């Protein structure tokens, strides 16, 4: 099939953990933007609907060594072997070849939750309850995002409704492409400290490009090979140690010094930077 | 057919029918429609369709008043975002503001006046137990009650509690209470308590602001500098001007030193976190002052130098505003030196739990790496610092000359009043602590969402034991309104013309106007209109000078326009436009109504703080300074200290948009008011377990909380958030959440930061 | 002479069944359980899956675990068909009918539970409309649906052989014709079953994001694909043996010839041994190559007390190798210990399915996450118990009214020559043999 | 007769079922609702007035198609009745004077989860309105709205033919119809192009 694609992009994010204050504006902005319902009180954090969820990271030390950081976690929009897309039995989730955005079509979803079992980031959420809104509140729904019914999976789609609106505006002005500043997800817009950066990962002209190729950048569970498009930035050694490539919680403090851990960690360093070995030798 | 129908015939016809159906579109069409039906459940809400427009305005949920852009569909806002470069919000909104338009649909929202159902009478504070009544009847009822007290000459037993002082509405309250002879009580704002400032200066102080631009050291005694969602706190200014200096980041030159017992987000992210023993702020401030004075690091060219170096024998020149005070000063100064002598670093280290080396380092850094400013804590849930601690902190600023200069505490000009109100200014202001206990027979509580938590006991103390009536003007039935005998709801935020007066810490005056984004419900009445109608019923002069609120706002804008000073931050594009560029007051008003924010020029007059500068020379109650520790009133059997906390505008029991549940229930990002945070060791000793319920007992009572262990918590302390819990979108939950505010017993100074407490496991 | 039950005309000639009253009494608790479970299932369907203790992390729980376990145990149906029809192990004709019924109740029960488990059951058929061919679940859905259909078709002739239904000539003809093509269905069923057993294994094995479950493999199939097939066919016969033994114990009758057990045990034993061998090799490769390659050290999976290395030992040695060896020793196989071995094997496969489903989801994948546990709600348990009750009821009814064990009468006659006339016995055997489960040369006299 | 009896029986059943499926189904499946007001596009777009579609069906500043205009736009011309048609009389009396919006039943209305940017089609792809809406803009009267009793959609979505066989390019507005055109034009497709 010929592709009349004029503009292929690979949308991604860089989130600066060192700047994040854990205020939660991104979570609320996301829920408001995407008409995310609020499940009743029994829901708790295990049955909630938080397309973006800020986790509190702690180095588990008492004062004065105690350190806290915040990690906003959203769908990582995996670019390779996308775990959820490959397992959905009926194409209810899909990766857009033009943008790299992983979408979820709730009307197609049968609620089998296989994609949730497949997602290592726990970034997919099931609507356990019928969405309930007080009378009249549907009048202030975001008209660009369709609400979900009970019994389906939902997740972050980089505020795709905003992209559609931006494309529509561009179309009305006779443009086929949108400018970089025309499409920004709600979480980014809400972040008071500018911790979230968004853009085309393939465009060297964008600030994002430098950020994700910088020293401070890494990705969660990078070695799973799913090529997530969310990058995290941190200079704090304990944060990097904690998050860097899937050392399980039991190994947060490499004090145990088991040789296999060291080997694995060494491997992980190599995986990220193949020239590290050379440098070490020289 | 003569033979009649046989079974085989039926089967044949049926077979033909089946073949026919298969050859018709019927099965496929029905299957398709059924598929569509299962994808469009009828109970799914339908999206609004209609023209989408944009409006600019201000958020009035908290006193900050961040600029906002509202996307509107069918006349209703569906998305609120910050205005770029907004001088207050800095381009974003806090979570509360982002969901502000949902408050209208809050399950605790009142749509009309309600009476009865209050907790004191065995009710639940919910509408179910209350009777709604027509607006006119409610107004007549309130007027009648006031009239009763007037008739017996007991007007002074009436008080109005203003949740958000500084507005034009506050002026109306003041004028109303003045003509009635009632008290006008402003709720506390951030920074130094007005009581403290009042006590320190013999004359009324001009308004204080903090100019943080370009400072290098900020010594914060528990102020939520980096984690308060509010824009007008130091947070945004500090973050914007000085850059956040979180550990491990490439920090700018500015250093935040946070003195705080609780591992708050600010403490965790501060450049230096000093975790002091609970209540030892005063001792620490004095200990730092000791080092500064002892090592001669104070500002020798400024006031401190004149006073300390001169050893009281300052040679006052005739033009010096200190002239008057110098004579009194000398004896008091000796008192201050004597006082400091009790706080050498080693002694202070014992009191505060901070090493003497650190105390020396911090004192030196504070005194030498200027500009440096010390600010007192203002945790919205924990309440103000002890007055003496505030005084000691004030003195630190005085020592380093951080008063009356740019990059320090400055005085600022007040916002001009509308002409008709300026001619006859409002009446006296009473501090809540100055209201005699048990004296109030009627308390009218303003409807704005309060900035800070207020323990219910602080109010009940002031109320007469019998027959006291509380009238709530809150748009919600939660919070203090649960105790109200009559509730006349004001419009919710974003539903009425409102003004955003100058934030407490702003270095210059500002004014912004919030245009309504939606219609208030029919039964809601703005307090200004309410007072106007009551005044009319009682035959009193109109508190608003016969003008409605919108007109007053316009007149205030006109009065600002007449000053011909300052500039406007335009809402739609964030550009700065000099006030002179507007050719009429109307054009200026239009700009303000479209999200603009007027900012005054800096006041170039110096030395306006005058008398307050002498504060440290005059420790008002020398006896209690010896202690240096504002300990919780000790009670046997309560080994721990309960320190409540809360985020600004979200401390207390007011309403949060239900979508905030994402931050509380659906993640553990924000502390739920149902959680008690303790050190794992403390929990172990008390025999309670992480994640399980436990009793928290104080002399005031006991309640159940969920234990959350956190190794960063001080082992002698338990922390509980005062804040509200977000409601569900449906009905309010049947059970009230455990409000820590009812466990607190404020001391005689109105301080409730620390309450003796103990932790008990819940018996199975 | 015993009093004739009112439903005597429905019961096969020449076999002994308990009185209707006692039979109904036996059914009552199961019916009660069924009703209770149906109520739980109704709650889940009407109010939504918030009735369960499943959550975003435990997207799959008790239901999926038991589904996988039950489908594995139900493998006896297709595997017996395969042995009987394709490999011509005619001894197995003794219990092919009961194997079909066991398979049918297991699979239909699993499908019913699946329909409660998905959030939008009315849209479940979209998989057929818009299939994603890359998904293991698509393969599972197609195969299980088709195989259930096959089982249903295989079940029909057994039903039609009911004494009363046989009187209708049309049914007899239908059954006769159906039987002629039964080999085809057995072959199709075998093919489908191999595939979906494998796909069920693949379901977890392909999860790139779950290093605990992820396995490398051959072509598009991870090793779990093959291990699931192998474990299912290894345990299927053992489960059939258990069911039959249980039926014999409950009815206090001999239902199949003892050599059937020997055969089942031998098959099960050999297959189990090969399964344990391959599983061990697979585990070693996984621990030493697959998991470290994606950043996880093998024993990181076993640091949590709830799921220590004991579970690995239990799965492979205690409930794998031990029963396998027991079944391989002829003396054990023929004795009472065979039951224990079969039980261990069945438990082992359930444990394997538990590890793949529940443990996979329990283990943290994010480095800052913790181990999470989950306990099913009563609605979940009740819905599943309803399936158990349904299985028992359907099997009981089938046993009472249908020729589940074609040689029952014969074996009974051998033991108790007075009760049934030899003539009648041979006639019915012929009838069964002619229209029943394959030709039964061994039963012809 | 009796020789053909079976065949006739079969044929009878067949024909009856075909009639039910092809003729009866549309009658039962759709409910017919009259538009709240009779409106003649032809009068407005015809020679007399010669208005463009865009005169009433506009885009807002964000490029969003505004759909059927509100009563305010009608009122700019019809503040009072201009002619003597009863429909106009009805418009003025029932809607314009009391300032009520007309509850139009939109033939082409898509469900909430569909995002259809008109601009992309009319501006970028330069597709005429008629391509999808047919000669609606020249119609003299509004045909009754037919609503599917099961799905709740307008009949126009499926198309006038019950078998879904399009008689004209604009007949049918289901996903397949969108996709067919997209494929013809070589547009790469993803769910999110059209679903929100």
Residue B565 clears pLDDT 50, i.e. is over it: yes
Residue D53 clears pLDDT 60, i.e. is over it: yes
CA distance B619 to B341: 14
B37–D164 C-beta distance less than 8 A? no
Residue B247 clears pLDDT 70, i.e. is over it: no
pLDDT on residue C252? 86
Neighbours of chain D (3+ CB pairs under 8 A): A, B
CA distance B716 to B502: 39
- Can you name the residues that pair with B412 across neighbouring β-strands? B207
Residue C317 clears pLDDT 70, i.e. is over it: yes
C55–A248 C-beta distance less than 8 A? no
pLDDT digits (tens, 9 = 90+) for C258-276: 888 889 999 999 999 999 9
pLDDT on residue B592? 94
Q: Please state whether C210 falls in left (phi above 0), alpha (psi between -120 and 50) or beta.
A: beta
The residue length of chain A stands at 282
pLDDT digits (tens, 9 = 90+) for D95-133: 999 989 999 999 999 999 999 999 999 999 999 888 999
Nearest-by-CA chain D residue for A4 = D187
Q: Is residue C180 part of a domain?
A: yes
Query: Which of the four pLDDT bands, split at 50, 70 and 90, describes residue C176?
Result: confident
Residue C110 clears pLDDT 70, i.e. is over it: yes
Touching pair D, A by Cβ (3+ pairs < 8 Å)? yes
B35 reaches C (C-beta below 8 A): yes
Query: Which of the four pLDDT bands, split at 50, 70 and 90, describes residue A163?
Result: very high
Residue D195 clears pLDDT 50, i.e. is over it: yes
Out of C132, C300, C372, name the one closest to residue A89 (CB): C132
Q: Which helix (H) or strand (E) holds B442?
A: strand B442-445
CA distance C209 to C216: 13
More confident residue, B424 or A75: A75
Chain A interface disruption, residue of C43, C44, C45, C50, most A CBs within 10 A: C50
β-bridge pairing B717-721 and B675-678: antiparallel
User: Cβ contacts of residue A254 below 8 Å, gap of 6+?
Assistant: A241, A247, A261, A262, A265
Nearest-by-CA chain D residue for A144 = D196
Which alpha helices (DSSP H) does B607-656 contain, by range?
A: 622-625
pLDDT digits (tens, 9 = 90+) for B671-702: 888 899 999 999 999 999 998 999 999 988 88
Q: Which helix (H) or strand (E) holds B184?
A: strand B183-186
Whole-angstrom Cα Rg for chain B = 30
- Which residues in chain D have their CB less than 8 angstroms from residue B33's CB? 29, 148, 150-151
Packing angle of the helix pair B549-563, B585-593 (nearest 10 deg): 120
- Can you name the residues that pair with B403 across neighbouring β-strands? B409
Of all residues in chain A, what percent carry a pLDDT higher than 90? Answer: 57
Query: Which of the four pLDDT bands, split at 50, 70 and 90, describes residue B236?
Result: very low
- Which residues in chain C have their CB less than 8 angstroms from residue A245's CB? 295, 367
D4 reaches A (C-beta below 8 A): no
Q: Do the Cβ atoms of C382 and C53 come closer than 8 Å?
A: no
Concatenated DSSP letters of A138-197: GGGS-TTSPPPPTT-EEE--SSHHHHHHHHHHHHHTT-SS--GGG---HHHHH-TT--EE
pLDDT on residue C423? 41
Average pLDDT over residues B163-182: 90
pLDDT on residue B643? 93
Query: Which of the four pLDDT bands, split at 50, 70 and 90, describes residue B253?
Result: low
Q: Do the Cβ atoms of B349 and B277 come closer than 8 Å?
A: no
Whole-angstrom Cα Rg for chain C = 23
Packing angle of the helix pair C169-180, C182-205 (nearest 10 deg): 60
The minimum CA-CA distance between B736 and chain C, rounded to whole Å, is 23
pLDDT on residue B211? 79
User: Cβ contacts of residue C252 below 8 Å, gap of 6+?
Assistant: none
Concatenated DSSP letters of B150-166: HHTT-GGGEEEEESSTT
Neighbours of chain B (3+ CB pairs under 8 A): A, C, D
Domain CATH for C106: 1.20.1630.10
Of all residues in chain C, what percent carry a pLDDT higher than 70? Answer: 91
Concatenated DSSP letters of B569-594: E-TTT--EEEGGG--SHHHHHHHHHT
Cβ count within 10 A of residue C277? 15
Asked casually if ipTM beats, i.e. exceeds, 0.95, the reply is no
**Token pair belonging to C122:** 């009315």
- Which residues in chain B have their CB less than 8 angstroms from residue C126's CB? 35
β-bridge pairing D145-148 and D30-33: antiparallel
Question: Tokens 């969402």 sit at which residue?
Answer: B449
Nearest-by-CA chain A residue for B518 = A140
- The SS3 of residue C420 is coil
Apex CA A89: angle with CA A88 and CA A94, to 5°?
A: 40
Q: Do the Cβ atoms of B626 and B342 come closer than 8 Å?
A: yes
Q: Do the Cβ atoms of B274 and B258 come closer than 8 Å?
A: yes
Of the listed ranges A37-41, A134-138, B189-193, D152-156, the one predicted with least confidence = B189-193
B95–A24 C-beta distance less than 8 A? yes
A49–B246 C-beta distance less than 8 A? no
D10 reaches A (C-beta below 8 A): no
CA-wise closest residue to B264 among A28, A7, A22, A114: A22
pLDDT digits (tens, 9 = 90+) for B457-478: 888 888 988 888 999 999 988 8
Average pLDDT over residues A269-274: 45
Residue A3 clears pLDDT 80, i.e. is over it: no
Nearest-by-CA chain B residue for C126 = B35
Rounded to the nearest integer, the mean pLDDT of chain C is 86
- Which residues in chain A have their CB less than 8 angstroms from residue C55's CB? 46-47, 128
pLDDT on residue A42? 82
Phi, psi (degrees; rounded to nearest 5) at B98: -60, -35
Query: Which of the four pLDDT bands, split at 50, 70 and 90, describes residue C298?
Result: confident
pLDDT on residue C224? 92
The minimum CA-CA distance between A149 and chain C, rounded to whole Å, is 9
Of the listed ranges C166-170, C272-276, C323-327, C393-397, the one predicted with least confidence = C166-170
DSSP single-letter state for residue D55: G
Residue D2 clears pLDDT 80, i.e. is over it: no
Rounded to the nearest integer, the mean pLDDT of chain A is 84
Query: Which of the four pLDDT bands, split at 50, 70 and 90, describes residue C333?
Result: confident
CA distance B634 to B637: 9
pLDDT on residue B165? 86
Q: Widest CA span of chain C, in angstroms? A: 76
Of the listed ranges B165-174, C296-305, C425-434, the one predicted with least confidence = C425-434
Give the dihedral sign, CA C44/C46/C50/C51: negative
CA distance C296 to C284: 14
β-bridge pairing B693-698 and B755-761: antiparallel
Query: Which of the four pLDDT bands, split at 50, 70 and 90, describes residue A245?
Result: low
pLDDT on residue D1? 56
Residues B413-452 as b or e (16 or more Cβ within 10 Å = b): bebbbbeebeeeebbebbebbebeeebbbbbbbbbbbbbb
Phi, psi (degrees; rounded to nearest 5) at C382: -60, -45
Out of A147, A160, A172, name the one closest to residue D192 (CB): A160
B249-258, B297-306, C89-98: which has the highest mean pLDDT?
A: C89-98
Nearest-by-CA chain A residue for C49 = A128
B23–D9 C-beta distance less than 8 A? no
Residue B761 clears pLDDT 90, i.e. is over it: yes
Query: Which of the four pLDDT bands, split at 50, 70 and 90, describes residue B738?
Result: low
Q: Which helix (H) or strand (E) holds B274?
A: strand B272-274
**Token pair belonging to A63:** 């004062």
Q: How far are the Cα atoms of A8, A111, A125, A232, D120 from residue A53, in angstroms, in the given order? A: 29, 21, 11, 14, 34
D62–A167 C-beta distance less than 8 A? no
Q: Is residue C2 part of a domain?
A: no
Cβ count within 10 A of residue C375? 10
Average pLDDT over residues C351-362: 94
D7 reaches A (C-beta below 8 A): no
CA-wise closest residue to C109 among C52, C142, C69, C79: C69
β-bridge pairing B183-186 and B158-162: parallel
Residue A255 clears pLDDT 50, i.e. is over it: no
pLDDT digits (tens, 9 = 90+) for B312-357: 444 433 333 333 343 344 455 667 777 888 889 999 999 899 999 9
CA distance D102 to D35: 9
The minimum CA-CA distance between B35 and chain D, rounded to whole Å, is 8
Touching pair D, C by Cβ (3+ pairs < 8 Å)? no
A130–C123 C-beta distance less than 8 A? no
User: Cβ contacts of residue C234 below 8 Å, gap of 6+?
Assistant: C268, C271, C272, C274, C275, C345, C349
Expressed in percent and rounded to 5, the helix, strand and coil fractions of chain C are 75, 0, 25
pLDDT on residue A193? 82
A101-115, B96-110, B713-727: which has the highest mean pLDDT?
A: A101-115
pLDDT on residue C193? 87
B269–A32 C-beta distance less than 8 A? no
Q: Do the Cβ atoms of D122 and D129 come closer than 8 Å?
A: yes
pLDDT on residue C78? 87
Domain around C285: 8-443
Residues B112-136 as b or e (16 or more Cβ within 10 Å = b): bbbbebbeeeeebbbbeebebbebe
pLDDT on residue C13? 80
Question: Tokens 């529509």 sit at which residue?
Answer: A168
The minimum CA-CA distance between B53 and chain D, rounded to whole Å, is 9
Count A/C contacts: CB-CB distance under 8 Å.
192
Give the dihedral sign, CA B662/B668/B671/B675: positive
B14–D13 C-beta distance less than 8 A? yes
CA distance B132 to B274: 52
For each of the domains in chain A, give its residue range(s) and CATH number, in order of start: 20-193 (3.30.70.20)
- Which residues in chain D have their CB less than 8 angstroms from residue B8's CB? 6
A145–D124 C-beta distance less than 8 A? no
- Which residues in chain D have their CB less than 8 angstroms from residue B47's CB? 112
D66 reaches A (C-beta below 8 A): no
The minimum CA-CA distance between D124 and chain A, rounded to whole Å, is 6
Residue B483 clears pLDDT 90, i.e. is over it: no
B30–D15 C-beta distance less than 8 A? no
D112 reaches A (C-beta below 8 A): yes
Q: How many domains is chain C built from?
A: 1
Q: What is the dihedral of CA B552, B554, B557, B561, to 10 degrees?
A: -120
pLDDT on residue A278? 54
Query: Which of the four pLDDT bands, split at 50, 70 and 90, describes residue C438?
Result: very low
CA-wise closest residue to B377 among B365, B358, B390: B390
A270 reaches B (C-beta below 8 A): no
Residue C377 clears pLDDT 70, i.e. is over it: yes
- The SS3 of residue B267 is helix
- Which residues in chain C have their CB less than 8 angstroms from residue B35's CB? 123, 126, 129
pLDDT on residue C354? 95
Average pLDDT over residues B33-60: 89
Query: Which of the four pLDDT bands, split at 50, 70 and 90, describes residue B176?
Result: very high
More confident residue, B607 or B546: B546
pLDDT on residue A80? 85
- Which residues in chain B have their CB less than 8 angstroms from residue A53's CB? 666-667, 669
C120–B35 C-beta distance less than 8 A? no
pLDDT on residue C422? 42
pLDDT on residue B284? 93
């Amino acid at each position: 099939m010929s592709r009349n694609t004029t503009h292929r992009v690979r949308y991604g994010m860089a989130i600066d953990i060192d700047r994040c204050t854990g205020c939660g504006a991104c979570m609320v902005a996301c829920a408001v933007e995407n008409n995310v319902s609020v499940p009743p009180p029994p829901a708790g954090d295990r049955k909630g609907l938080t397309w973006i969820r800020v986790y509190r990271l702690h180095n588990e030390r008492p004062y004065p060594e105690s350190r806290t950081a915040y990690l906003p976690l959203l769908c990582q929009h995996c670019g390779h072997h996308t775990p959820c897309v490959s397992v959905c039995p009926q194409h209810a989730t899909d990766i857009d070849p033009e943008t790299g955005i992983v979408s979820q079509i709730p009307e197609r979803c049968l609620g089998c939750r296989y994609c949730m079992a497949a997602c290592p980031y726990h970034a997919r959420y099931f609507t356990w309850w019928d969405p309930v809104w007080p009378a009249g509140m549907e009048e202030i729904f975001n008209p660009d995002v369709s609400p979900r019914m009970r019994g389906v999976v939902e997740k972050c789609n980089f505020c795709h409704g905003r992209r559609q609106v931006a494309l529509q505006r561009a179309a009305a002005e006779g443009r086929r492409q949108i400018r970089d500043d025309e499409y920004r997800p709600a979480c980014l817009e809400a972040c008071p400290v500018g911790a979230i950066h968004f853009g085309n990962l393939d465009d060297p002209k964008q600030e994002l490009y430098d950020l994700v190729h910088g020293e401070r950048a890494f990705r969660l569970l990078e070695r799973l090979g799913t090529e997530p498009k969310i990058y995290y930035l941190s200079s704090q050694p304990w944060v990097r140690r904690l998050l860097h490539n899937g050392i399980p919680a039991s190994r947060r403090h490499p004090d145990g010094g088991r040789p296999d851990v060291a080997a694995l960690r060494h491997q992980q360093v190599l995986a990220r930077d193949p020239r590290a070995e050379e440098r070490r030798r020289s | 057919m003569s033979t009649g129908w046989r079974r085989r015939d039926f089967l044949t016809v049926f077979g033909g029918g089946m073949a026919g159906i298969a050859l018709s579109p019927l099965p496929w069409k029905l299957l398709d429609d059924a598929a569509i039906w299962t994808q469009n459940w009828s109970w799914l809400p339908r999206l609004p369709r209609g023209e989408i427009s944009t409006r600019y305005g201000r958020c009035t949920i908290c006193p900050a008043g961040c600029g906002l852009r509202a996307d509107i569909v069918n006349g209703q806002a569906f998305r609120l975002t910050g205005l770029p470069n907004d001088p207050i919000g800095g381009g974003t909104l806090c979570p509360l503001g982002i969901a502000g338009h949902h408050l209208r649909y809050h399950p605790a929202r009142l749509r009309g006046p309600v009476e009865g159902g209050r907790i004191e009478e065995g009710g639940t504070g919910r509408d179910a137990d209350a009777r709604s009544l027509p607006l006119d009847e409610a107004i007549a009822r309130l007027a009648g009650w006031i009239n009763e007290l007037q008739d017996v000459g007991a007007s002074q037993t009436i008080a109005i509690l203003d949740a958000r002082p500084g507005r034009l509405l506050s002026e109306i309250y003041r004028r109303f209470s003045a003509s009635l002879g009632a008290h006008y009580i402003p709720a506390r704002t951030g920074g130094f308590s007005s009581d403290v400032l009042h006590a320190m200066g013999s004359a009324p102080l001009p308004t204080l602001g903090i100019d943080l631009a370009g400072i290098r050291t900020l010594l914060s005694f528990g102020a939520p500098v980096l984690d308060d969602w509010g824009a007008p706190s130091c947070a945004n200014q500090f973050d914007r001007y000085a850059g956040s200096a979180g550990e491990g980041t490439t920090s700018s030159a500015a250093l935040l030193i946070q003195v705080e017992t609780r591992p708050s987000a600010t403490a965790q992210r501060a450049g230096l976190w000093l975790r002091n023993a609970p209540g030892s702020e005063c001792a620490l401030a004095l200990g730092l002052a000791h080092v500064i004075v002892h090592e001669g690091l104070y500002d020798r060219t400024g006031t401190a130098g004149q006073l300390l170096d001169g050893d009281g024998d300052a040679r006052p020149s005739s033009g010096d505003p200190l002239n008057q005070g110098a004579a009194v000063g000398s004896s008091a100064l000796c008192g201050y030196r004597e006082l400091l002598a009790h706080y050498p670093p080693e002694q202070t280290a014992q009191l505060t739990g901070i090493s003497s080396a650190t105390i020396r380092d911090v004192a030196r850094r504070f005194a030498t790496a200027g500009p440096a400013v010390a600010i007192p804590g203002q945790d919205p849930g924990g309440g103000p610092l002890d007055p003496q601690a505030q005084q000691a902190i004030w003195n630190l600023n005085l020592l380093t000359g951080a008063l009356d200069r740019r990059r320090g505490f400055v005085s600022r000009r007040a916002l001009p009043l509308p002409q008709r109100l300026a001619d006859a200014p409002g009446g006296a202001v009473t501090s809540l602590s100055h209201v005699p206990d048990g004296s109030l027979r009627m308390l009218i509580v303003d409807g704005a969402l309060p900035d800070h938590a207020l323990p219910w006991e602080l109010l009940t103390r002031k109320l007469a034991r019998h027959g006291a009536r509380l009238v709530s003007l809150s748009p919600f039935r939660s919070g203090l309104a649960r105790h109200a005998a009559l509730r006349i709801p004001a419009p919710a935020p974003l539903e009425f013309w409102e003004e955003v007066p100058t934030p407490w810490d702003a270095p210059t005056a500002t004014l912004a106007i919030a245009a309504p984004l939606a219609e208030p419900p029919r039964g809601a009445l703005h307090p200004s209109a309410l007072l106007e109608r009551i005044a009319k019923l009682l035959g009193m002069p109109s508190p608003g000078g016969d003008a409605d609120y919108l007109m007053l706002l316009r007149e205030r804008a006109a009065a600002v326009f007449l000053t011909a000073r300052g500039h406007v931050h335009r809402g739609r594009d964030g550009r700065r436009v000099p006030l002179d560029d507007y050719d009429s007051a109307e054009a200026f008003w239009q700009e303000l109504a479209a999200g603009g924010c007027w900012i005054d020029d800096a006041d170039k007059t110096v030395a306006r703080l005058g008398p307050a500068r002498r504060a440290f020379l005059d420790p008002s109650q020398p006896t209690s300074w010896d202690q240096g520790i504002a300990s919780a009133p000790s009670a046997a059997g309560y080994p721990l200290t309960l320190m409540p906390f809360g985020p600004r505008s979200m401390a207390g029991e007011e309403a949060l948009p239900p979508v905030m549940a994402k931050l509380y229930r659906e993640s553990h990002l924000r502390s739920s008011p149902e959680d008690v945070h303790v050190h794992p060791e403390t929990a172990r000793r008390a025999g309670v377990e992480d994640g399980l319920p436990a009793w928290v007992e104080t002399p005031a009572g006991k309640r159940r909380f969920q234990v959350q262990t956190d190794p960063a918590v001080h082992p002698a302390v338990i922390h509980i958030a005062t804040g509200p819990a977000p409601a569900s979108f449906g009905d309010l939950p049947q059970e009230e959440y455990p409000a820590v505010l009812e466990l607190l017993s404020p001391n005689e100074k109105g301080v409730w930061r620390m309450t003796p407490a103990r932790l008990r496991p819940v018996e199975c | 002479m015993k009093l004739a039950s009112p439903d005597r005309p429905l019961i096969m000639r020449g076999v002994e069944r308990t009185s209707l009253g006692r039979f109904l009494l036996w059914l009552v608790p199961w019916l009660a359980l069924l009703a209770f479970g149906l109520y739980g299932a109704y709650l889940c369907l009407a109010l939504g899956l918030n009735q369960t203790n499943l959550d975003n992390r435990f997207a799959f729980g008790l239901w999926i675990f038991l589904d996988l376990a039950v489908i594995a145990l139900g493998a006896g149906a297709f595997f017996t068909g395969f042995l009987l029809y394709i490999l011509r192990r005619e001894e197995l004709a003794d219990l092919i009918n009961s194997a079909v019924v066991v398979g049918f109740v297991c699979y239909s029960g699993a499908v019913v539970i699946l329909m409660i488990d998905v959030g939008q059951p009315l849209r479940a058929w979209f998989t057929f409309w818009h299939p994603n061919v890359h998904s293991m679940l698509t393969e599972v859905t197609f195969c299980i649906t088709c195989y259930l259909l096959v089982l249903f078709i295989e079940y029909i002739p057994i039903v039609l052989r009911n004494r009363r239904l046989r009187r209708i000539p049309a049914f007899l003809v239908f059954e006769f014709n159906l039987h002629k093509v039964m080999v085809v269905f057995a072959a199709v069923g075998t093919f489908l079953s191999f595939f979906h057993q494998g796909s069920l294994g693949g379901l977890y094995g392909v999860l790139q994001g779950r290093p605990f479950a992820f396995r490398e493999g051959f072509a598009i199939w991870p090793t779990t694909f093959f291990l699931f097939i192998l474990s299912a066919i290894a345990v299927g016969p053992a489960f059939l043996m258990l069911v039959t033994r249980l039926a014999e114990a409950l009815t206090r009758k001999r239902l199949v010839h003892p050599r059937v057990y020997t055969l089942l045990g031998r098959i099960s034993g050999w297959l189990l041994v090969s399964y344990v061998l391959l599983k061990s090799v697979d585990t070693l490769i996984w621990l030493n190559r697959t998991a470290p390659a994606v950043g996880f050290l093998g024993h990181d999976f076993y640091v949590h007390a709830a799921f220590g290395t004991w579970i690995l030992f239990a799965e492979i040695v205690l409930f794998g190798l031990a029963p396998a060896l027991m079944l391989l020793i002829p003396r054990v196989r023929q004795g009472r210990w065979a039951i224990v071995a079969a039980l261990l094997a069945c438990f082992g496969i359930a444990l394997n399915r538990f590890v793949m489903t529940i443990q996979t989801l329990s283990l943290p994948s994010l480095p800052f996450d913790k181990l999470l546990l989950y306990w099913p709600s009563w609605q979940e348990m009740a819905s599943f118990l309803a399936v158990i009750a349904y299985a028992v009821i359907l099997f009981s009814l089938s046993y009472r009214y249908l020729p589940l064990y074609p040689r029952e009468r014969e074996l009974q006659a051998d033991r108790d020559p007075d009760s049934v006339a030899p003539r009648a016995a041979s006639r019915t055997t012929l009838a069964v043999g002619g229209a029943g489960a394959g030709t039964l040369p061994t039963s012809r006299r | 007769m009796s020789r053909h009896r079976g065949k006739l029986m079969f044929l009878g059943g067949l024909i009856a079922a075909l009639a039910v499926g092809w003729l009866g189904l549309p009658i039962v499946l759709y409910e017919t609702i009259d538009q709240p007001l009779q409106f003649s596009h032809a009068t407005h777009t015809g020679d007399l007035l010669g208005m463009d579609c865009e005169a009433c069906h506009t885009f807002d500043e964000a490029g969003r198609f505004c759909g059927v205009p509100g009563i305010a736009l009608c009122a700019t011309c019809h503040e009072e009745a201009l002619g003597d048609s009863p429909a106009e009389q009805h418009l003025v009396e029932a809607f314009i004077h009391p300032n009520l919006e007309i509850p139009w039943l939109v033939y082409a209305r898509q469900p909430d989860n569909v995002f259809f940017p008109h601009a992309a089609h009319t501006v970028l792809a330069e597709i005429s309105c008629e391509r999808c809406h047919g000669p609606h803009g020249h119609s003299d009267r509004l045909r009754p709205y037919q609503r599917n009793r099961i799905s709740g959609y307008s009949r126009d979505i499926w198309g006038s033919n019950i078998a879904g066989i399009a008689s004209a390019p604009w007949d049918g507005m289901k996903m397949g119809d969108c996709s067919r055109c997209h494929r013809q034009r070589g547009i790469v497709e993803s769910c999110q192009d059209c679903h929100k």
